[in-house]
Homo-oligomer: A and B are copies of this chain.
Amino acid sequence: MPRRRLGVGLIGSGFMGKAHAFAYAMAPRVFDLPVTLDLHSLADVSEEAAVQAAGAFGFRHGTGDWRKMVAEPDIDIISITTPNAMHHEMALAAIAAGKAVYCEKPLALSVTEAREMTEAAERAGVPTQLGFNYLCNPMISLAKEMIDAGEVGEVRGFRGIHAEDFMADASLPFGFRHEDEGGGALADIGSHILATAQHLMGPITSVFGDCVTVIGERPDGQGGRRAIGVDDVTRAFLVFEGGATGSIEANWLSTGRKMQHDFEIYGSKGALRFSQEHFNELWFYASDDPQGRQGFRRVESAPVHAPYGRFCVAPGHQIGFNDLKSIELAGFIEAILKQGPERFNFRKGLDIQNLMEAIATSSQEKRWVELA
Protein backbone atom coordinates (compact mmCIF):
# COMPACT_ATOMS: atom_id res chain seq x y z
CA MET A 1 0.00 0.00 0.00
CA PRO A 2 1.53 3.31 -0.97
CA ARG A 3 1.94 5.80 1.82
CA ARG A 4 -0.30 8.81 1.66
CA ARG A 5 1.49 12.07 1.00
CA LEU A 6 0.80 15.05 3.25
CA GLY A 7 2.22 18.44 2.38
CA VAL A 8 3.36 20.59 5.27
CA GLY A 9 3.60 24.35 5.59
CA LEU A 10 5.23 25.77 8.69
CA ILE A 11 4.83 29.40 9.78
CA GLY A 12 7.61 30.55 12.08
CA SER A 13 11.09 29.25 12.87
CA GLY A 14 11.67 30.35 16.44
CA PHE A 15 11.50 28.21 19.59
CA MET A 16 8.27 26.50 18.61
CA GLY A 17 8.89 26.61 14.87
CA LYS A 18 12.02 24.59 15.41
CA ALA A 19 10.14 22.18 17.65
CA HIS A 20 7.53 21.64 14.93
CA ALA A 21 10.24 21.11 12.34
CA PHE A 22 11.90 18.49 14.52
CA ALA A 23 8.56 16.76 15.01
CA TYR A 24 7.91 16.61 11.27
CA ALA A 25 11.27 14.87 10.87
CA MET A 26 10.90 12.48 13.75
CA ALA A 27 7.24 11.53 14.09
CA PRO A 28 6.99 9.49 10.90
CA ARG A 29 10.07 7.48 11.80
CA VAL A 30 9.26 6.98 15.46
CA PHE A 31 5.67 5.98 14.82
CA ASP A 32 6.09 4.42 11.38
CA LEU A 33 3.16 6.54 10.22
CA PRO A 34 1.55 5.43 6.95
CA VAL A 35 2.28 8.79 5.36
CA THR A 36 5.06 10.51 3.55
CA LEU A 37 5.42 14.02 4.86
CA ASP A 38 6.39 16.45 2.16
CA LEU A 39 8.05 19.32 4.01
CA HIS A 40 6.87 21.76 1.40
CA SER A 41 7.35 25.31 2.67
CA LEU A 42 8.39 27.38 5.60
CA ALA A 43 7.13 30.94 5.98
CA ASP A 44 8.92 33.50 8.06
CA VAL A 45 9.13 37.27 8.51
CA SER A 46 11.29 37.62 5.42
CA GLU A 47 11.98 35.43 2.45
CA GLU A 48 15.66 35.40 3.33
CA ALA A 49 15.07 34.16 6.86
CA ALA A 50 12.57 31.64 5.56
CA VAL A 51 14.88 30.22 2.93
CA GLN A 52 17.64 29.80 5.45
CA ALA A 53 15.40 28.13 8.01
CA ALA A 54 13.89 25.93 5.30
CA GLY A 55 17.35 24.69 4.44
CA ALA A 56 18.24 24.01 8.02
CA PHE A 57 15.02 22.16 8.76
CA GLY A 58 14.71 20.25 5.50
CA PHE A 59 11.80 22.16 3.96
CA ARG A 60 11.83 22.53 0.19
CA HIS A 61 10.84 26.18 -0.03
CA GLY A 62 11.10 29.29 2.06
CA THR A 63 8.75 32.23 1.71
CA GLY A 64 8.13 35.62 3.25
CA ASP A 65 4.44 35.40 2.39
CA TRP A 66 2.49 33.10 4.66
CA ARG A 67 -0.79 33.94 2.94
CA LYS A 68 0.47 32.58 -0.36
CA MET A 69 1.75 29.48 1.36
CA VAL A 70 -1.56 28.85 3.06
CA ALA A 71 -3.24 28.91 -0.35
CA GLU A 72 -0.84 26.36 -1.83
CA PRO A 73 -2.83 23.31 -3.01
CA ASP A 74 0.00 20.85 -2.30
CA ILE A 75 0.00 21.73 1.35
CA ASP A 76 -2.33 19.83 3.68
CA ILE A 77 -1.19 20.90 7.14
CA ILE A 78 -0.39 24.38 8.38
CA SER A 79 1.68 24.77 11.53
CA ILE A 80 1.31 28.12 13.26
CA THR A 81 4.13 28.96 15.67
CA THR A 82 4.06 32.76 15.57
CA PRO A 83 3.33 35.11 18.48
CA ASN A 84 -0.16 34.68 19.91
CA ALA A 85 -1.55 37.84 18.32
CA MET A 86 -1.25 36.31 14.86
CA HIS A 87 -2.89 32.95 15.55
CA HIS A 88 -6.38 34.19 14.81
CA GLU A 89 -5.80 35.58 11.36
CA MET A 90 -3.52 32.78 10.24
CA ALA A 91 -5.72 29.98 11.50
CA LEU A 92 -8.80 31.48 9.88
CA ALA A 93 -6.96 31.74 6.57
CA ALA A 94 -5.74 28.17 6.80
CA ILE A 95 -9.17 26.90 7.74
CA ALA A 96 -10.67 28.81 4.83
CA ALA A 97 -8.19 27.07 2.56
CA GLY A 98 -9.27 23.70 3.97
CA LYS A 99 -6.03 22.90 5.70
CA ALA A 100 -5.55 20.90 8.86
CA VAL A 101 -4.27 23.40 11.43
CA TYR A 102 -1.65 22.72 14.10
CA CYS A 103 -1.46 25.86 16.24
CA GLU A 104 0.65 26.71 19.24
CA LYS A 105 -1.04 27.61 22.50
CA PRO A 106 -2.76 29.66 23.67
CA LEU A 107 -5.27 29.51 20.88
CA ALA A 108 -5.94 33.24 20.71
CA LEU A 109 -5.95 36.58 22.48
CA SER A 110 -9.56 36.33 23.63
CA VAL A 111 -12.51 34.03 23.96
CA THR A 112 -14.16 35.89 21.07
CA GLU A 113 -11.29 35.10 18.75
CA ALA A 114 -10.94 31.56 20.02
CA ARG A 115 -14.62 30.88 19.52
CA GLU A 116 -14.53 32.24 16.00
CA MET A 117 -11.55 30.03 15.14
CA THR A 118 -13.10 26.95 16.74
CA GLU A 119 -16.43 27.40 15.01
CA ALA A 120 -14.79 28.09 11.67
CA ALA A 121 -12.77 24.88 11.94
CA GLU A 122 -15.77 22.84 12.95
CA ARG A 123 -17.89 24.25 10.13
CA ALA A 124 -15.11 23.58 7.65
CA GLY A 125 -14.54 20.12 9.05
CA VAL A 126 -10.78 20.59 9.17
CA PRO A 127 -8.84 18.77 11.87
CA THR A 128 -7.16 20.99 14.43
CA GLN A 129 -4.51 20.53 17.05
CA LEU A 130 -3.39 22.88 19.77
CA GLY A 131 0.16 22.68 21.12
CA PHE A 132 -0.36 21.61 24.73
CA ASN A 133 2.56 19.26 24.37
CA TYR A 134 3.01 18.50 28.09
CA LEU A 135 -0.20 16.49 27.86
CA CYS A 136 1.44 14.20 25.31
CA ASN A 137 3.82 12.81 27.91
CA PRO A 138 3.35 9.06 28.41
CA MET A 139 3.45 9.65 32.16
CA ILE A 140 0.53 12.06 31.89
CA SER A 141 -1.33 9.44 29.91
CA LEU A 142 -0.50 7.00 32.68
CA ALA A 143 -1.85 9.42 35.28
CA LYS A 144 -5.06 9.80 33.33
CA GLU A 145 -5.41 6.07 32.88
CA MET A 146 -4.89 5.50 36.59
CA ILE A 147 -7.39 8.15 37.60
CA ASP A 148 -9.98 6.86 35.16
CA ALA A 149 -9.44 3.30 36.39
CA GLY A 150 -10.04 4.39 39.97
CA GLU A 151 -6.53 3.61 41.16
CA VAL A 152 -6.56 6.63 43.46
CA GLY A 153 -10.21 6.10 44.40
CA GLU A 154 -12.62 9.00 44.41
CA VAL A 155 -10.59 12.02 43.34
CA ARG A 156 -10.75 14.77 45.93
CA GLY A 157 -8.27 17.46 45.05
CA PHE A 158 -5.75 18.95 42.67
CA ARG A 159 -2.79 21.24 43.20
CA GLY A 160 -1.08 22.49 40.07
CA ILE A 161 1.60 25.00 39.28
CA HIS A 162 3.44 26.22 36.26
CA ALA A 163 6.37 28.31 37.38
CA GLU A 164 9.42 29.58 35.55
CA ASP A 165 11.68 32.54 36.15
CA PHE A 166 12.31 33.97 32.72
CA MET A 167 10.65 37.28 33.66
CA ALA A 168 12.18 37.56 37.13
CA ASP A 169 14.75 40.10 36.05
CA ALA A 170 13.04 43.51 36.25
CA SER A 171 15.51 44.98 33.81
CA LEU A 172 14.27 42.84 30.92
CA PRO A 173 12.50 45.13 28.47
CA PHE A 174 8.80 45.21 27.65
CA GLY A 175 7.96 42.52 25.09
CA PHE A 176 4.97 41.04 23.33
CA ARG A 177 4.17 38.92 26.36
CA HIS A 178 3.53 42.15 28.30
CA GLU A 179 0.91 43.47 25.88
CA ASP A 180 -2.45 44.02 27.51
CA GLU A 181 -4.21 41.90 24.96
CA GLY A 182 -3.16 38.27 25.15
CA GLY A 183 -0.20 38.83 27.44
CA GLY A 184 0.58 37.84 30.97
CA ALA A 185 1.66 34.73 32.82
CA LEU A 186 -1.85 33.31 32.91
CA ALA A 187 -2.10 33.22 29.11
CA ASP A 188 1.50 32.27 28.50
CA ILE A 189 2.02 29.47 30.98
CA GLY A 190 -1.15 29.32 33.06
CA SER A 191 -2.86 27.92 29.99
CA HIS A 192 -0.61 24.87 30.30
CA ILE A 193 -1.51 24.05 33.87
CA LEU A 194 -5.20 24.69 33.25
CA ALA A 195 -5.02 22.28 30.33
CA THR A 196 -3.40 19.68 32.56
CA ALA A 197 -6.00 20.21 35.27
CA GLN A 198 -8.90 19.82 32.89
CA HIS A 199 -7.32 16.92 31.02
CA LEU A 200 -6.84 14.88 34.17
CA MET A 201 -9.68 16.03 36.38
CA GLY A 202 -12.49 16.85 33.94
CA PRO A 203 -14.41 20.09 33.38
CA ILE A 204 -13.95 23.05 35.69
CA THR A 205 -17.20 24.71 36.70
CA SER A 206 -16.17 27.68 38.78
CA VAL A 207 -13.07 29.67 39.56
CA PHE A 208 -11.78 32.38 41.82
CA GLY A 209 -8.73 34.18 40.53
CA ASP A 210 -6.06 36.52 41.77
CA CYS A 211 -3.96 38.09 39.04
CA VAL A 212 -1.01 40.04 40.40
CA THR A 213 1.30 42.43 38.61
CA VAL A 214 4.57 42.53 40.49
CA ILE A 215 6.84 44.40 38.09
CA GLY A 216 4.73 47.40 37.18
CA GLU A 217 6.93 48.81 34.45
CA ARG A 218 9.86 47.79 32.35
CA PRO A 219 12.35 49.46 30.02
CA ASP A 220 10.65 50.18 26.73
CA GLY A 221 13.81 49.47 24.77
CA GLN A 222 14.06 53.11 23.72
CA GLY A 223 15.47 54.64 26.83
CA GLY A 224 12.14 55.08 28.58
CA ARG A 225 9.88 53.02 30.78
CA ARG A 226 6.60 51.39 29.90
CA ALA A 227 3.81 50.51 32.31
CA ILE A 228 2.67 46.91 32.47
CA GLY A 229 -0.89 45.85 33.08
CA VAL A 230 -0.67 42.08 32.75
CA ASP A 231 -0.17 39.53 35.50
CA ASP A 232 3.20 38.16 36.57
CA VAL A 233 1.55 35.74 38.95
CA THR A 234 -1.94 34.32 38.80
CA ARG A 235 -3.42 32.07 41.41
CA ALA A 236 -6.82 30.46 41.11
CA PHE A 237 -9.10 28.19 43.08
CA LEU A 238 -10.98 25.66 40.99
CA VAL A 239 -14.13 23.60 41.39
CA PHE A 240 -14.41 20.56 39.15
CA GLU A 241 -17.64 19.15 37.79
CA GLY A 242 -16.88 15.86 39.50
CA GLY A 243 -16.94 17.52 42.91
CA ALA A 244 -13.26 17.83 43.58
CA THR A 245 -11.63 21.19 44.25
CA GLY A 246 -8.19 22.50 43.59
CA SER A 247 -5.87 25.34 42.80
CA ILE A 248 -3.40 26.43 40.19
CA GLU A 249 -0.66 29.00 40.04
CA ALA A 250 0.99 30.50 36.98
CA ASN A 251 4.17 32.35 37.74
CA TRP A 252 6.96 33.65 35.55
CA LEU A 253 8.86 35.32 38.37
CA SER A 254 9.58 32.15 40.31
CA THR A 255 13.31 32.60 40.75
CA GLY A 256 15.23 29.35 40.30
CA ARG A 257 12.43 27.52 38.53
CA LYS A 258 13.05 26.74 34.88
CA MET A 259 10.25 24.36 34.03
CA GLN A 260 8.07 23.62 37.00
CA HIS A 261 4.87 22.17 35.66
CA ASP A 262 3.86 20.15 38.68
CA PHE A 263 0.74 18.70 40.15
CA GLU A 264 -0.47 16.52 42.96
CA ILE A 265 -3.79 14.71 42.84
CA TYR A 266 -5.16 12.94 45.87
CA GLY A 267 -8.09 10.62 46.17
CA SER A 268 -9.77 8.39 48.70
CA LYS A 269 -7.32 5.56 48.18
CA GLY A 270 -4.26 6.94 46.52
CA ALA A 271 -2.39 9.90 45.16
CA LEU A 272 -0.30 10.94 42.19
CA ARG A 273 2.52 13.46 42.01
CA PHE A 274 4.25 14.77 38.95
CA SER A 275 6.93 17.30 38.16
CA GLN A 276 7.91 18.39 34.68
CA GLU A 277 11.40 18.86 36.12
CA HIS A 278 11.62 15.05 36.00
CA PHE A 279 8.95 14.34 33.48
CA ASN A 280 9.88 10.74 32.79
CA GLU A 281 8.50 9.67 36.13
CA LEU A 282 5.21 9.64 38.00
CA TRP A 283 4.89 9.20 41.74
CA PHE A 284 2.11 6.97 42.96
CA TYR A 285 0.90 6.34 46.50
CA ALA A 286 -1.44 3.43 47.09
CA SER A 287 -3.24 3.43 50.43
CA ASP A 288 -3.78 -0.29 50.21
CA ASP A 289 -0.10 -1.15 50.13
CA PRO A 290 0.75 -3.22 53.21
CA GLN A 291 1.03 -1.30 56.44
CA GLY A 292 4.56 -0.14 57.11
CA ARG A 293 5.40 -0.53 53.42
CA GLN A 294 3.43 2.42 52.09
CA GLY A 295 5.04 5.31 50.34
CA PHE A 296 5.07 7.30 47.17
CA ARG A 297 6.75 5.16 44.56
CA ARG A 298 8.69 6.52 41.63
CA VAL A 299 7.40 4.94 38.47
CA GLU A 300 9.90 5.47 35.64
CA SER A 301 8.76 5.70 32.06
CA ALA A 302 9.01 2.36 30.31
CA PRO A 303 7.82 0.65 27.17
CA VAL A 304 4.69 -0.44 29.02
CA HIS A 305 3.73 3.24 29.09
CA ALA A 306 2.82 3.81 25.44
CA PRO A 307 4.11 5.42 23.36
CA TYR A 308 7.41 5.55 25.26
CA GLY A 309 8.44 2.25 23.66
CA ARG A 310 8.33 3.88 20.25
CA PHE A 311 11.33 5.96 21.28
CA CYS A 312 13.27 3.42 23.28
CA VAL A 313 12.79 -0.25 24.06
CA ALA A 314 14.52 -0.03 27.43
CA PRO A 315 12.90 1.53 30.51
CA GLY A 316 14.30 4.57 32.24
CA HIS A 317 16.23 5.89 29.26
CA GLN A 318 13.97 8.94 28.99
CA ILE A 319 12.41 10.98 26.26
CA GLY A 320 13.02 14.71 25.86
CA PHE A 321 11.03 17.86 25.32
CA ASN A 322 11.09 17.61 21.54
CA ASP A 323 9.84 14.03 21.72
CA LEU A 324 6.63 15.31 23.32
CA LYS A 325 6.12 17.31 20.17
CA SER A 326 6.57 14.20 18.02
CA ILE A 327 3.90 12.42 20.00
CA GLU A 328 1.61 15.39 19.57
CA LEU A 329 2.18 15.51 15.84
CA ALA A 330 1.73 11.76 15.42
CA GLY A 331 -1.63 12.01 17.15
CA PHE A 332 -2.62 14.84 14.86
CA ILE A 333 -1.66 12.89 11.76
CA GLU A 334 -3.71 9.96 12.99
CA ALA A 335 -6.62 12.34 13.42
CA ILE A 336 -6.10 13.70 9.91
CA LEU A 337 -6.09 10.13 8.61
CA LYS A 338 -9.24 9.42 10.64
CA GLN A 339 -7.30 6.74 12.49
CA GLY A 340 -7.72 8.37 15.83
CA PRO A 341 -9.54 11.13 17.68
CA GLU A 342 -8.58 14.78 17.67
CA ARG A 343 -6.88 14.93 21.03
CA PHE A 344 -6.48 18.56 21.99
CA ASN A 345 -8.27 20.44 19.28
CA PHE A 346 -9.47 24.03 19.04
CA ARG A 347 -12.65 23.21 20.94
CA LYS A 348 -10.57 22.17 23.92
CA GLY A 349 -8.40 25.22 23.45
CA LEU A 350 -11.54 27.32 23.61
CA ASP A 351 -12.34 25.73 26.98
CA ILE A 352 -8.96 26.87 28.27
CA GLN A 353 -9.54 30.34 26.83
CA ASN A 354 -12.84 30.46 28.67
CA LEU A 355 -11.13 29.45 31.88
CA MET A 356 -8.46 32.11 31.49
CA GLU A 357 -11.06 34.77 30.86
CA ALA A 358 -13.13 33.61 33.83
CA ILE A 359 -10.10 33.78 36.09
CA ALA A 360 -9.21 37.26 34.87
CA THR A 361 -12.79 38.42 35.34
CA SER A 362 -12.90 36.89 38.78
CA SER A 363 -9.72 38.65 39.79
CA GLN A 364 -10.96 41.98 38.51
CA GLU A 365 -14.42 41.71 40.00
CA LYS A 366 -13.25 39.91 43.15
CA ARG A 367 -15.91 37.25 42.91
CA TRP A 368 -16.27 33.58 42.04
CA VAL A 369 -17.12 33.10 38.37
CA GLU A 370 -19.10 30.17 37.05
CA LEU A 371 -18.20 28.64 33.74
CA ALA A 372 -21.14 28.41 31.37
Interface string of A239-262 (1 = CB under 8 A from B): 000000101010101111111000
- Is the beta-carbon distance between B258 and A316 smaller than 8 angstroms? yes
- Is the beta-carbon distance between A287 and B25 smaller than 8 angstroms? no
Given contacts A157-B254, A210-B237, A316-B277, contact A296 B298 (CB under 8 A): yes
Interface string of A61-88 (1 = CB under 8 A from B): 0000000000000000000000000000
Minimum distance in angstroms from A143 CB to a CB of chain B: 12
Given contacts A22-B30, A320-B323, contact A299 B304 (CB under 8 A): no
In the complex, A212→B249 CA distance in Å?
A: 19
* Chain B residues with CB under 8 A of A372: none
- Is the beta-carbon distance between A152 and B255 smaller than 8 angstroms? yes
Minimum distance in angstroms from A305 CB to a CB of chain B: 6
- Is the beta-carbon distance between A29 and B58 smaller than 8 angstroms? yes
A285 within 8 A of partner (CB): yes
Q: Which of A90-98, A267-275, A349-357 contacts B (4 or more CB under 8 A)?
A: A267-275
Q: Which of A99-107, A195-203, A221-229, A307-315 contacts B (4 or more CB under 8 A)?
A: A307-315
In the complex, A249→B160 CA distance in Å?
A: 12
Partner of A237, one of B164, B214, B235, B259: B235
Given contacts A26-B22, A210-B237, A247-B235, contact A311 B302 (CB under 8 A): no
> What's the number of copies of this chain in the assembled complex?
4
- Is the beta-carbon distance between B233 and A157 smaller than 8 angstroms? yes
- Is the beta-carbon distance between B255 and A313 smaller than 8 angstroms? no
A348 within 8 A of partner (CB): no
Interface residues on A, range: 35 or more
In the complex, A353→B316 CA distance in Å?
A: 26
- Is the beta-carbon distance between A29 and B15 smaller than 8 angstroms? no
Given contacts A29-B25, A29-B58, A300-B295, contact A157 B268 (CB under 8 A): no
In the complex, A29→B256 CA distance in Å?
A: 31
Q: Specify the chain B residue showing the minimal Cβ separation from A301.
A: B258
Minimum distance in angstroms from A273 CB to a CB of chain B: 8
* Chain B residues with CB under 8 A of A26: 22, 25-26
Partner of A247, one of B247, B270, B284, B300: B247
In the complex, A322→B57 CA distance in Å?
A: 18
Q: Specify the chain B residue showing the minimal Cβ separation from A285.
A: B256
**Can you name 15 A-B pairs with beta carbons within 8 Å?**
A26-B26, A159-B249, A166-B314, A210-B237, A255-B267, A255-B271, A258-B315, A259-B314, A279-B318, A286-B293, A296-B298, A297-B297, A312-B321, A317-B320, A319-B320
Given A32-B56, A257-B271, output 19 extra A-B contacts at Cβ < 8 Å: A3-B55, A15-B314, A22-B311, A28-B58, A157-B251, A254-B264, A255-B270, A256-B271, A257-B316, A259-B314, A259-B316, A292-B299, A295-B299, A317-B320, A318-B318, A318-B321, A319-B322, A366-B367, A367-B367
